[in-house]
């Protein structure tokens, strides 16, 4: 601690690095279909908070599907609370594909390696390190801070934020805003300028199963009612469909800044030429310029010489805010009336205002550590637990700040092989997040 009572940032950064490693070493893998276990990592979080006198509670949605909640009282009871949340589950990792132990949490080449390093145990670690430092020095934030560490984000949020918002909304009482993952990270563009992407919108989800019925029969005979033929023709049409460009407010705001910073033309009729200016994020950002529908699974048949009576496929549909009906009607038009559509999973799209006091606090915190940085809003192609909290009227943003090397393909690390987070980026994130939380 310095003489003016400010956080000893170096010690907080060191604590975040240590916690991140320890969290990675807990294999809180979510295999989907209800198969996951966040109990050990929940116990770790409870113990980490208890060490400094912060009381927390585990909410178990199903055996071993554990959520942790803690509320830190603010000094100004007239202000609404802020939910600071992360998820503790990770997707599986095949160790044979990795160059290091995916659950080793090792430090190598200036980075922490392991499953969850960017998605999102780095943010979990930053949160824990900062609030632990508050408790150690007796600091009280201005507003109530609700810490939420959710289970099951990687498989639909059923046992995590969905469970908590539906069954225990009282833990979020008085909260109006939230921050979580996949935002506040740097993207280097022309002349080394750094944009900081803050997530202010996200696509909705419609996973659907298509099923074609046909006439079963011997594989050696003519059969114009082959279910596999009908299904695969429909799936191929979906996979090759060129979706129209649809630009939301958030997307327009992002690309106006990209054009301004790079000196390129801003043409609102077609923003795709500007994609090359955002480097390795172009694949993800490109998916936010339109609806998408990708075939992901096929299931048909049981023997080489038997034509099955039915065949099915799974389509991962993602729709922009305001364009859900277009996605669904287009899929129906493509496949025709004879193929059945069943919804496997559905979730809403979100888009929130980028002109608010909370966003101003984000911008100030980022610029405090990188005066040349340029905070911008972006629309995320995936989704976060902010979807569930939005149903309680809580406005959520993606803000887990990281300053990244210009040549790091950050987006490929999410669910990817050799997932890793730069230590210097994590230190930057701690400084920004601490500033933000004390001034939001």
pLDDT digits (tens, 9 = 90+) for 133-178: 999 999 999 999 999 999 999 988 999 999 999 999 999 999 999 9
Angle ∠(285,286,291) on CA atoms, nearest 5? 105
- The rounded distance, in Å, linking the Cα atoms of 360 and 440 is 8
pLDDT at residue 3 is higher than 70: no
Helices then strands, counting H and E runs in the chain, come out as 11, 21
Intra-chain end-to-end CA distance of the chain, in Å: 22
pLDDT at residue 78 is higher than 90: yes
- The rounded distance, in Å, linking the Cα atoms of 98 and 103 is 10
For residue range 94-138, list pLDDT tens digits in order. 999 999 999 999 999 999 999 999 999 999 999 999 999 999 999
pLDDT at residue 191 is higher than 90: no
Specify the pLDDT at position 279: 87
For residue range 306-354, list pLDDT tens digits in order. 999 999 999 999 999 999 999 999 999 999 999 999 999 899 999 999 9
Q: Is the dihedral of CA 179, 343, 414, 235 positive or negative?
A: negative
pLDDT band at 7 (very low <50, low <70, confident <90, very high): low
pLDDT at residue 92 is higher than 50: yes
To the nearest 10°, report the CA torsion of 26, 30, 35, 37. 30
Radius of gyration for the alpha carbons in the chain, expressed in angstroms and rounded: 23
Q: What is the mean pLDDT of the chain?
A: 95
- The rounded distance, in Å, linking the Cα atoms of 267 and 274 is 9
| Closest listed residue to residue 87, CA positions, set 53, 47, 42 | 42
Specify the pLDDT at position 411: 86
pLDDT at residue 426 is higher than 50: yes
Specify the pLDDT at position 1: 34
Residues β-bridged to residue 108: 111
pTM equals: 0.92
For residue range 377-412, list pLDDT tens digits in order. 999 998 999 999 999 999 999 999 999 999 888 888
180: left (phi over 0), alpha (psi -120 to 50) or beta: beta
pLDDT band at 5 (very low <50, low <70, confident <90, very high): very low
Q: Which domains does the chain have, with CATH numbers?
A: 9-182+384-439 (3.40.630.10), 203-347 (3.30.70.360)
110: left (phi over 0), alpha (psi -120 to 50) or beta: left
- The rounded distance, in Å, linking the Cα atoms of 359 and 127 is 18
The one-character DSSP state at 118 is T
- The rounded distance, in Å, linking the Cα atoms of 117 and 426 is 10
As a whole-number percent, the residues of the chain with pLDDT over 90 amount to: 93
Helix (H, G, I), strand (E, B) or coil at 207: strand
Which stretch of 59-68, 215-224, 312-321 has the lowest confidence by average pLDDT?
215-224
| Closest listed residue to residue 416, CA positions, set 325, 311, 283 | 283
> Using omega within 30 degrees of 0 as the cis cutoff, is the peptide bond preceding 267 cis?
no
pLDDT at residue 30 is higher than 90: yes
| Closest listed residue to residue 87, CA positions, set 163, 138, 143 | 163
pLDDT at residue 243 is higher than 50: yes
């Amino acid at each position: 601690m310095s003489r003016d009572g400010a956080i000893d940032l170096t010690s907080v950064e060191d604590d975040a690095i240590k916690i991140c490693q320890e969290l990675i070493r807990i294999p809180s893998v979510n295999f989907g279909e209800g198969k996951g276990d966040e109990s050990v990592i929940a116990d770790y979080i409870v113990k980490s908070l208890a060490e400094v006198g912060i009381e927390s509670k585990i909410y178990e949605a199903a055996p071993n599907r554990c959520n942790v909640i803690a509320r830190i009282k603010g000094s100004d009871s007239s202000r609404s609370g802020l939910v600071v949340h992360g998820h503790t589950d990770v997707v599986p990792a095949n160790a044979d594909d990795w160059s290091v132990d995916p659950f080793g949490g090792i430090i190598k080449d200036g980075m922490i390696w392991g499953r969850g390093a960017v998605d999102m145990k780095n943010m979990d670690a930053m949160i824990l390190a900062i609030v632990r430092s508050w408790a150690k020095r007796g600091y009280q934030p201005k507003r109530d801070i609700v810490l939420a560490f959710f289970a099951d984000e990687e498989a639909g949020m059923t046992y995590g934020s969905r469970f908590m918002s539906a069954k225990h909304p009282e833990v979020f009482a008085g909260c109006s805003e939230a921050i979580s993952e996949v935002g506040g990270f740097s993207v280097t563009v022309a002349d080394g300028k750094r944009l900081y992407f803050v997530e202010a919108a996200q696509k909705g989800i419609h996973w659907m199963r298509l099923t074609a019925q046909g006439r079963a029969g011997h594989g050696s005979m003519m059969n114009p009612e082959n279910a596999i033929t009908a299904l695969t023709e429909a799936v191929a049409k979906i996979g090759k469909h060129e979706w129209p460009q649809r630009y939301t407010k958030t997307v327009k705001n992002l690309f106006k800044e990209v054009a301004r910073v790079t000196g390129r033309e801003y043409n609102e009729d077609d923003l795709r030429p500007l994609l090359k200016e955002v480097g390795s994020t172009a694949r993800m950002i490109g998916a936010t310029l339109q609806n998408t529908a990708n075939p992901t699974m096929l299931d048909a048949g049981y023997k080489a010489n038997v034509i099955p009576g039915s065949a099915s496929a799974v389509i991962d549909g993602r729709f922009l805010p305001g364009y859900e009906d277009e996605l669904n009607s287009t899929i129906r038009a493509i496949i025709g009336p004879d193929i059945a559509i069943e919804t496997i999973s559905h979730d809403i799209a979100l888009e929130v205002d980028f002109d608010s006091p909370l966003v101003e606090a984000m911008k100030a915190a980022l610029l405090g550590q990188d005066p040349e940085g340029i905070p911008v809003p972006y629309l995320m192609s995936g989704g976060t637990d902010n979807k569930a909290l939005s149903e309680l009227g809580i406005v959520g943003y993606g803000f887990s700040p990281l300053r990244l090397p210009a040549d790091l393909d950050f987006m490929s690390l999410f669910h990817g092989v050799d997932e890793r987070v730069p230590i210097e980026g994590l230190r930057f994130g701690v400084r920004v997040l601490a500033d933000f939380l004390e001034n939001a």
